[in-house]
Copies of this chain bind each other. A is one copy, B any other.
Amino acid sequence: MKINALALNCSLKKSSGKPSNTDRLLDKAREEYAALGVGFMSLRIADYNVLPGTKSDMGEGDEWSAVLEQIKACDILLLASPVWVGHHSSLAQRVIERLDALFFEKALQDEATGQYLTYNKVGGAVVTGNEDGAKASAFRFLAVLSNMGFTIPPNAFTYWVGPAGSGPSYIKAGGPQHLFTNRAMKMMVHNTAFMAELLKANPVPTNIKALSASAKEESDSGAQTFLSQ
């Protein structure tokens, strides 16, 4: 069964003729996935009009559904972002907010088990910036993806940043030849690919509905009426 990876590039810039720094690093991941027979697609969030909100459909003009369809179709999701003021981009946070719907909308959950549609998919993170903030960004991505139903294998992120303070970015600084970043990228690709195949053959059996019912029995239900995270 063919495995497919999807990268969501949360650069602040729309795609145009010239590649972004994050794109360049994603291209390396694409090649590495290809060598393993894994498909790869990259979307630029800035190319879509993703409206603010936490529902999967925010009404007129909202283009999130096009992104969500690709997330549904993928086996591996890589959140990719530049760093601004020590932090992932507002567009990356926008993606996370829109995924919040997983916790609330029945249409995004399995009817029998209550699993979110992200269960049995694998998560990873790719970050580029010209200065410090990559780990804060990547670590947040990995944890949020796990919270949202993805499985995170070992060493599931890669990043590039230059030394302290602003300076040349990934491409200009020779980042594509940076050993640490290339090595981490390869580990991410191999580990996410392995885990995606493993979960495809062995899906998580957890029945969230049954566990919720069991939790209700031992809880003071009067104190709380909402369940989702």
Chain A residues close to B by CB (< 8 Å): 12-13, 46, 52-54, 84-91, 93-94, 96-97, 100, 103, 115-116, 118-119, 130-136, 138-140, 142-144, 146-157, 159-168, 173-174, 177-187, 190-191, 194-195, 198, 202, 204-206, 208, 211-212, 214-216, 218-221, 223-229
Contact = CB atoms under 8 A, between A and B. Distances in A.
Copies in the complex: 4
Given A12-B53, A164-B159, A226-B165, A97 B90 contact: yes
A152 to B, nearest CB: 4
Contacts of A150: 154
Nearest to A136: B136
A89 B218 CA distance: 29
Contacts of A165: 178-181, 184, 224, 226-229
Contacts of A214: 186
Q: Which of A94, A183, A208, A211 has the most CB of B within 10 A?
A: A183
A92 to B, nearest CB: 8
Contact of A182 (B173, B180, B218): B218
Contact of A54 (B53, B84, B220): B84
A131 to B, nearest CB: 8
A164 B204 contact: no
